[in-house]
Amino acid sequence: METNSISRRNFLRVSGLAGTALCLGFYFPANAKNEELIAASAEGQSGFEFNAWMRIDTDGKVTLTDHRAEMGQGSYQSVPQIIAEELEVDLKDINVIFAIGDPDKYGSQITGGSSTIRGSYKKLLNLSATAREMLISAAANKWGVPASECYAQSGHVIHKPSGKKFNYGELVTDASKLSPPKDVKLKNISEYKLIRKPLNRLDTPMKTNGEAIFGLDKKLPGMLHAAVERSPRLRGKVKSFDDSAALKVPGVKKVFKIQMMVFNTTRDGVVVIANSTWAAMQGRKALRVEWDDSGFEHVNTADIYNAHEELLKKEEGISHKKQGDPDGALAKATRQIDVIYQTPYQSHAAMEPLNCAAYYQPDKIEIWGPIQAPDWVLNDISTKFKMPKDKVVVNMTFLGGGFGRKAFLDYTHEVVAISKEIGAPVQVVWSREDDIKQGPYRAGISYRGQGAIENGEISTLKFKMAGQNIDHWNGPARGKANGSTSEGFLKPYYDSIKNISFADVPYEMPLPNMWWRSVYASTNGFAYESFMNEMAVLAGQDQLDFRRKYLKDERCQRLIDKMEEVSGWKSRQKNQGYGVAITECFETTVGQIVKVSRNAEGKVKIDKVWAVMDCGWYVNPDIIRAQVEGSVVMALGAATIHEITFKNGLVEQNNFYDYLMPRMSDAPPVEVHIMENTADAGGVGEPGLPPFAPALTDAIYDLTGNRIRKLPFNMNAV
């Protein structure tokens, strides 16, 4: 069966480049500004380091490399879908492999910022078209005919007048000796056969029969298993531990203390090594560890938000952006609002708990795991273990979700340190409790919005944010405004509103925090778009018309028209529970309309979500729809179901029984529309998330007159 044979081959790495093959890739010379397109035959690769982004063997086998992580967002499908289009091969005939971490070959590999397609599609199109032209030239030379009489299709070059054909495998030896042409012609969108088509994902079959290999599924010969007891309170240090009971657990082999490094901090743990995951977990339970965890008792959620509020009242903060004279306009204003919005700390809680396998040997380190940034891991491990980069191999498996968490470098460092200590391959599995309680988290942020309406028009918008900055991990963020203070806010507003300011009021707190799906747009979007809805009410105007007035950019206008059309906006009745929000995230704009109503028991329920996405050039519309559908569910959880809270420095949540998740019955119907245009590609994996919470709370306001400004809130209590 074709699907099975593809899936079995997925995990065979192209270990060497023995034999002749045509390989194309980009070379990223150190310190060079532009990558240089290179081609090489496998036999003649002297001097050049090249990546096998695509490799065609003499037997015609095509291997395409996914240089980014696959954590559900679809790179495993969309990267090959781009390459196959211009290369003229059938998707069913290709083998997809994951790249190892190697920024010199692939450029940035961090799967974040929704950047896989928008960051590389032009390069991938060009690369594939170049390979195709080289294969056509090789065929034309063999036949002694002009290349213009030949074309490529389904892995063959065909001579149009005679109907003669070669398959690509027969041409690679000759093609690999040619120089890549300088300027190749790319297809117009109307000529695409694969791109912009809702093709089924190549990784679906192996995700329905248990074949897909995630980090947790990695098995190495002689591999041991480790569980780590971690401090229940933030950054606790191991004072002492008693391992006598742990060592009596059958299967437990060794217990020792370990220090995990995270940027500029360290975290203590006590490691239990065993012959199975279960034995390691049992050994961990039997440990007695005394922690020195003083110094963090003061960390309490209520205090954090009180402090935010104080700061927002007292401090002007560090200016991030300013135009006009917002303070002057506010001083003169007669109709104004001044409100505070609060967003909670959140755990990523990917379904696959953190885990990683590693084998440290004196002359080589190899890692296998669910890794979002193999290039960062490569640099980090090379530096921390003083091992040359060419002796460090970072392998990506499939990721059981990531959402930003698996781009952190703590768990990858920890497993290598453990393998070094025991001199054997080992896999560390974090428990769900570790995953929930240890962070890092999306930081809880508070916002103050001040604005005024004069003669029915916005005269001023003044925003301040207070909260932890993600840069925290790289050192204190004092003195500099958070560069993401205005993230999520639509740029066309700057053209139509005279007085606008954004300021950041830094709030230092030793809680581990980092990016979470859609990063600051996920919290900023709630504050800024909720505020626009409040301004619309103050101006006595329809929320959608209000935005149409200020978002004069043509793409925004079309997006608003589409939102209005698909949701039946104009035929809705007053106070029927319709809400609106539009946010920008990673070069993509998404507008959502949420409709709520009261059910028979009087509880508010979500009837429908309409999402309209303008992401410019795109690859697979079905993957886009799936990403937006899923983003809405994740946003629903963060807005109405779960939050991480702290009490005396302890995280109060443990597992899915107290960090609750949206379930099947919570998921609203989501209808996704994609705007058709040829603008540059924007992100897809994250931008569907930010507009949901402000659109939902706006819908609740429309239905009930109750404006919700603090997340999460209880849907059953509104």
Partner 1 sequence: MINITVNGQHHEVDADPNMPLLWVIRDILGLTGTKYGCGAAQCGACTIHLNGEAVRSCVTKLNRAAGQRIVTIEGLSANNDHPLQLAWNEMNVPQCGYCQSGQIMSGAILLRENSNPSDQDIDDAMSGNICRCGTYQRIRAAIHKAAAMQTEGAKL
Binding stretches for partner 1 (CB under 8 A): 1, 3-4, 70-74, 200-201, 203-214, 216-217, 219, 225, 250-251, 276-279, 281-282, 349-353, 398-403, 429, 431-432, 622-623, 626-627, 629-634, 655-657, 661-667, 669-670
User: For residues 700 and 702, what is the distance between their CA atoms, to the nearest angstrom?
Assistant: 5
Beta strands 224-230; 426-429: pairing state: parallel
CB of 238 or CB of 399, closer to partner 1 = 399
DSSP state of 249: S
CB of 292 or CB of 671, closer to partner 1 = 671
* Minimum distance from residue 517 beta carbon to partner 1 (Å): 10
DSSP state of 399: -
CB of 251 or CB of 324, closer to partner 1 = 251
CB of 74 or CB of 103, closer to partner 1 = 74
CB of 295 or CB of 621, closer to partner 1 = 621
Q: Among 68, 412, 434, 370, which Cα is nearest to 215's?
A: 370
* Minimum distance from residue 663 beta carbon to partner 1 (Å): 5
Q: Among 256, 254, 283, 257, which Cα is nearest to 268's?
A: 257
440 upstream amide cis, omega within 30 of 0: yes
* Minimum distance from residue 147 beta carbon to partner 1 (Å): 39
CB of 272 or CB of 551, closer to partner 1 = 272
CB of 213 or CB of 422, closer to partner 1 = 213
* Minimum distance from residue 669 beta carbon to partner 1 (Å): 7
* Minimum distance from residue 660 beta carbon to partner 1 (Å): 9
The backbone torsions φ and ψ at residue 289, rounded to the nearest 5 degrees and listed phi first, read -115, 135
Residues 6+ apart with CB under 8 A from 675: 555, 558, 559, 562, 612, 613, 614, 615
712 upstream amide cis, omega within 30 of 0: yes
* Minimum distance from residue 587 beta carbon to partner 1 (Å): 21
In DSSP notation, 285-316 reads: HH-EEEEE-TT-TT--HHHHHHHHHHHHHH--
CB of 213 or CB of 333, closer to partner 1 = 213
User: For residues 308 and 314, what is the distance between their CA atoms, to the nearest angstrom?
Assistant: 10
CB of 221 or CB of 388, closer to partner 1 = 221
* Minimum distance from residue 624 beta carbon to partner 1 (Å): 11
CB of 623 or CB of 703, closer to partner 1 = 623
* Minimum distance from residue 631 beta carbon to partner 1 (Å): 7
Amino acid 475 reads G
Neighbours of 339 (CB within 10 A): 15
* Minimum distance from residue 614 beta carbon to partner 1 (Å): 21
Residues 6+ apart with CB under 8 A from 510: 234, 235, 296, 299
* Minimum distance from residue 53 beta carbon to partner 1 (Å): 24
CB of 179 or CB of 665, closer to partner 1 = 665
CB of 396 or CB of 453, closer to partner 1 = 396
Helices (H), 398-513: 410-422, 432-438, 492-496
CB of 402 or CB of 467, closer to partner 1 = 402
Residues 6+ apart with CB under 8 A from 600: none
* Minimum distance from residue 217 beta carbon to partner 1 (Å): 4
* Minimum distance from residue 351 beta carbon to partner 1 (Å): 4
* Minimum distance from residue 107 beta carbon to partner 1 (Å): 24
- Cβ burial of 378 (10 Å; 0-12, 13-18, 19+) is buried
Beta strands 578-585; 499-506: pairing state: unpaired
| Contact (CB, 8 A) for 428 and 228 | yes
The backbone torsions φ and ψ at residue 148, rounded to the nearest 5 degrees and listed phi first, read -65, -15
* Minimum distance from residue 84 beta carbon to partner 1 (Å): 18
CB of 212 or CB of 505, closer to partner 1 = 212
* Minimum distance from residue 295 beta carbon to partner 1 (Å): 31
* Minimum distance from residue 432 beta carbon to partner 1 (Å): 4
CB of 631 or CB of 697, closer to partner 1 = 631
CB of 276 or CB of 294, closer to partner 1 = 276
CB of 21 or CB of 624, closer to partner 1 = 624
Q: Give me the residue label for tokens 């081609």.
A: 39
**Both tokens of residue 635?**
């946003």
Q: Among 470, 479, 471, 480, which Cα is nearest to 444's?
A: 470
* Minimum distance from residue 204 beta carbon to partner 1 (Å): 5
| Contact (CB, 8 A) for 550 and 482 | no
Amino acid 226 reads A
| Contact (CB, 8 A) for 227 and 125 | no
User: For residues 219 and 427, what is the distance between their CA atoms, to the nearest angstrom?
Assistant: 8
| Contact (CB, 8 A) for 77 and 64 | no
Cα-based angle 169, 172, 178 (whole degrees, multiple of 5) = 160
| Contact (CB, 8 A) for 554 and 560 | no
| Contact (CB, 8 A) for 198 and 620 | yes
User: For residues 714 and 718, what is the distance between their CA atoms, to the nearest angstrom?
Assistant: 7
User: For residues 371 and 376, what is the distance between their CA atoms, to the nearest angstrom?
Assistant: 10
- Cβ burial of 333 (10 Å; 0-12, 13-18, 19+) is middle
The DSSP H or E segment spanning 568 is none
The separation between the first and the last C-alpha atoms of the chain, rounded to the nearest angstrom, is: 53
User: For residues 664 and 56, what is the distance between their CA atoms, to the nearest angstrom?
Assistant: 44
